[in-house]
Amino acid sequence: MFVFRHGKEPAAMPTSATAPEPARRQTDTGRITSARQFTRFALAVSVLGIMLQLALNAYYLSVGHAPSPHDLPVGVVGAPAQRQALTAQLEKDGAFAVTVYDSPQRLTGAIRGKDVYGGVDLTAERPTLYLASAAGPSAANLLRTTFITAIAEQTGKQVRTLVDQGRPVPAATVAALTAPPAVTDVVPLPAADRNGAALGFLVQALVLGGTIASTGLGRLIPLTPRSHQRGLGHVATLVVYALGSAAVVLWTMSWFDVGTGADAGRLLAEFTLISLAITASTAGAVALIGPAGALLGLGYFTVGTVISGAGVLPEFLPDPARAIGQALPPGAGVSAVRDSMYFPTADISGPLLTLGLYAGLGCLIVLVTNTLPNRSRRHSEVDLHLVERLEGHPVPAVTVAAAVGGPGDGRTAQ
């Protein structure tokens, strides 16, 4: 439609074709338009990054800069007179928790069952130290040093007692008393994983991949209408991803001969449960509170893996960190997989229960939030703009208005 004016070309009246212009101007309001705005934003981001780094540095150093044992379970075999002084020395300051066994066979059985990390047999002429380096090199090294030192102190006292009594001490007797105890590694680490660090790396990769996958899935799923099928599809996708993630873990382990002697089916099930616990709980958080729920997965990676027991054993962590670490999926997963790899007779019902709760509750939240609330076929404006970016064409303004409940023709976004 044109309006003629004197001495001028006809001017076009606004039509529906020019309607999207206000919307286009509205999208520019979030841009930085001045140097002052840029300076404020840059300063805020820098301060936030520095504060986050400060918090993480303090956290990491507080739990791992000087790990020390807290009630580390160990065993002793010997007569009451033999073990009394040793037990008192070990349990001083709460470093160790001593359990008495009546035979070396019972002690080694307890080590294989992960009831204790090691122990010493005092009944033989020469003491024998039993360790399980697969339970953690740090614990094995500590037990080796502690037991050898404690036994050396006791034998030194015996030699001094004989000398004080004026009794001659033959060189052979001194050599027998001061000889270091024999050491037997009941459950050694395999040559392919001498430091026992492989499990920690695997869990870190599992946590990071699961967090990214569940967060991305949580943003894409809302692009489809709410329905029972959408909830089941979301949960099914999480389960399929967990299976694929676990299979990848076992496949990469085979490249480096890690876990070759363990039950592959059992490990596959456990890694699947770990992955599902991480992805489902993160996806559930995203479904409940939106993109901010992804911070749960980030917390698993930045906080949970440090206190999972993979690098620093749970018994070497401060009490709050020890309890929290085993209550999170990374810590429960490390405990379950380590015992399955090296201590197949150990009881892992506790870690499996923890993982099952995270996986089950996460899947339930995802299913409910996708099915029950708000069965209308409405989407958020953020999701519609995501469609615009993915498909490469603008979403009509009337569709956006209808989707967010604004003015329009009353239609819902399809």
Sequence spans of domains, the chain: 72-188, 193-371, 376-414
CA 300 to chain centre: 5
For the segment 247-270, what is each residue's pLDDT rounded down to a tens digit?
999 999 999 999 888 999 999 999
Buried b (16+ CB within 10 A) or exposed e, 342-369: bbeebebeebbebbeebbeebbebbbeb
Q: For 66-100, how does the pLDDT look when each residue is reduced to its tens digit (9 = 90+)?
A: 888 999 999 999 989 878 888 888 888 889 999 99
pLDDT at 375 over 90: no
H-assigned helices in 130-263: 137-164, 171-178, 198-220, 228-255
Question: Which fold does the domain 72-188 belong to in CATH?
Answer: abc type-2 transporter like fold (3.40.1710)
**C-alpha span between 359 and 336 (Å, rounded):** 15
Residues near 326 by beta carbon (within 8 Å), at least 6 away in sequence? 309, 314, 332, 335, 350, 351, 354
Q: What gap in Å lies between CA 153 and CA 147, rounded to an integer?
A: 10
Predicted confidence (pLDDT) per residue in 225-246, tens digit: 778 888 898 899 999 999 999 9
Q: Give mean pLDDT, residues 91-119.
A: 94
Confidence check: pLDDT of 372 > 80: no
Residue 307's pLDDT is: 94
66 CB-near residues (< 8 Å, 6+ apart): none
- For residues 266 and 341, what is the distance between their CA atoms, to the nearest angstrom? 9
Look at the alpha carbons of 214, 218, 220, 226 in this order and tell me if their dihedral is positive or negative: positive
Mean pLDDT of the chain: 82
Strand 182-185: give its sheet, edge to edge: 96-101, 72-77, 118-121, 128-131, 182-185
φ/ψ of residue 248, rounded to 5 = -65, -40
Distance CA 219, CA 222 (A): 6
Give 287's pLDDT tier (boundaries 50, 70, 90). Answer: confident
User: Residue 393 — very low, low, confident or very high, per pLDDT cuts 50/70/90?
Assistant: low
Model confidence at 206, in pLDDT bands (50, 70, 90)?
Answer: very high
C-alpha to C-alpha distance for 242 and 275, rounded to whole angstroms? 5
